[in-house]
Amino acid sequence: MLDLRYLRNHPVKAEKSLQARDPKISLDKLLALDSAWRGVLQRVEELRAERNDAGAAIARAKKAGDDANSAIKRMTKLKADLQKQEEQADEFKARLDDVLLSLPNLADPAVPVSQDKDDFEELRVGGKLANFSFEPKDHVELTEPTGTLDFPGAAKLSGSGFALYRGEMALLEWGLLSWMFKEAAAAGYEPILPPFLVNHDSLYTSSQFPKFMGDVYKLADDDLYLIPTSEVTLVNLGREVTFQGEDLPKRVAAVTANFRREAGTYGKDTRGLVRTHQFNKVELVTFCQPEQASGLFEEIIAHAEKIVKSLGLYYRVVRLASCDLAQQATMTVDIEVWCPGMKRWWEVSSVSNCSDYQARRGGIRYKVSGGKSQLCHTLNGSGVATSRLLPAILETHQQSDGSVIVPKPLQAFVGRERINLPG
């Protein structure tokens, strides 16, 4: 959530930054509600002071044995007026909060300003593009003969948009998650195995609610929701917590399944693993002081980049255009891998600097010795997601006989150097 005082004091600058994300955004309604709310609050304070004076007048009259009826009548009217103004203040504040919650984070000045998602900034390309003496298959074609990625089986169990991993694919998926989780721990992230179900307050703090309620699975009989990303659980470890300044940065990592309804994406990019309702990933979250955020943002990017590089994949690092930023992000850098069978790039890691947007919602603070508590900055990134990473591995390392070479970091987890699939 944005700082209302900043919007009030710098409306032109703030609106320009918000319109970089969406030209339709206007602060006129918010500023009008803010002005009306503050005006009513001022009247509330005046009425409270008058009420106190009236109460004192009644007490003096009774003590002196004088007639207090006029003062009592005045008190009755003041109480009614005060109640009316307090209700008006609450109404204006609720409407003001609704508008404030709808606003995304301010875009960082370094973000490319565009209303076209394809206008991202390519920062660098890494790895080596695979060359084939044959026409490479996509991951579905590679695994269909053995059913090791069993989409019909998953559909029988759960419906469309799910995957069932069998045999070598189950080992490869589990090996990926185990290795990446171990790498995160080695890099200084505290390993966390969190619940997959969270409450409304958790999704509010991480900024999925209220704007994206339709994208999250809700349990019918409980006020609980399946996590769309473990960013939700990790960020909420800091909810209503005040860290000591010397304990920051605080790095945490989780490995979880993630669940998304993917509302509005029917028929779009649905082949295989690339867009499913349930997928796995390792997530990284960092709590820090504001001045630490820039360097830690690059640290998370470097960690995710190291993962894809170690797997022998061809990849690129891109800074997203302003229109493509998530609600809570002031800047996002994606790592995309090339899938030669599908002949396209797929994002496997999205790293976001959320400044104090989530911290303001969740009361995530820190305090330095002798100072006042201040809002933390939060950063998050995939380290990384497997639903596009696994296809990239299969398609990049496929051989002419249909087998797939297992990348060296995963061989100990998978228990073999090659997955034998029929050609």
Cα 93 from Cα 210, distance rounded (Å): 17
pLDDT of residue 123: 98
Q: Residue 344 catalytic?
A: no
Single out the residue of 143, 214, 121, 46 nearest to residue 394, CA to CA. Answer: 143
Report CA-CA distances (Å) from 351 to 12, 169, 179.
Answer: 28, 27, 20
DSSP output for 3-59: -HHHHHH-HHHHHHHHHHH-TT--SHHHHHHHHHHHHHHHHHHHHHHHHHHHHHHHH
Which of 260, 316, 361, 365 is catalytic? The answer is 260
Domain spans in the chain, listed from the N-terminal domain onward: 4-102, 121-419
CATH class name, domain 121-419:
alpha beta
Q: Which CATH superfamily is domain 4-102 in?
A: Serine-tRNA synthetase, tRNA binding domain (1.10.287.40)
Residue 215 burial by Cβ neighbours in a 10 Å radius (0-12, 13-18, 19+): middle
Q: CB–CB of 322/107 below 8 Å?
A: yes
Enumerate residues 6+ apart whose C-beta is below 8 A from 128: 312, 314
Residue range 159-184, pLDDT digits in tens: 999 999 999 999 999 999 999 999 99
3-state secondary structure of 297: helix
Fold: same for 4-102 and 121-419: no
pLDDT of residue 370: 86
pLDDT of residue 263: 56
Extract the tokens encoding 119.
Answer: 């206008």
Which of 350, 352, 355, 382 is catalytic? The answer is 350
Q: What is the DSSP letter of 196?
A: S
Which of 95, 347, 403, 418 is catalytic? The answer is 347
Which of 239, 275, 360, 418 is catalytic? The answer is 275
Percent of the chain with pLDDT over 70: 98
The mean pLDDT value for 409-417 works out to 93
pLDDT of residue 266: 52
Torsion of CA 194, 196, 197, 199, to 10 degrees: 50
Cα 288 from Cα 308, distance rounded (Å): 26
Q: Would the pLDDT of 378 be above 70? A: yes
Q: Residue 350 catalytic?
A: yes
pLDDT of residue 31: 98
Which of 21, 352, 388, 395 is catalytic? The answer is 388
**How many other CB atoms are found less than 10 A from the CB of residue 75?**
18
Q: What is the DSSP letter of 106?
A: P
3-state secondary structure of 162: coil
pLDDT of residue 68: 86
Q: Residue 347 catalytic?
A: yes
pLDDT of residue 423: 57
Question: What's at 4, amino acid-wise?
Answer: L
Average pLDDT, the chain: 95
Among positive and negative, which fits the CA dihedral 162, 168, 170, 175? negative
The mean pLDDT value for 183-212 works out to 96
Report CA-CA distances (Å) from 208 to 33, 213, 225, 235.
Answer: 24, 7, 11, 12
Cα 382 from Cα 388, distance rounded (Å): 12
Residue range 19-59, pLDDT digits in tens: 999 999 999 999 999 999 999 999 999 999 999 999 999 99
Residue range 314-329, pLDDT digits in tens: 999 999 999 999 999 9
Strands of 116-269 (E only): list them.
121-126, 190-192, 197-198, 225-226, 242-244, 250-259
DSSP output for 58-73: HHHHHHHT---HHHHH
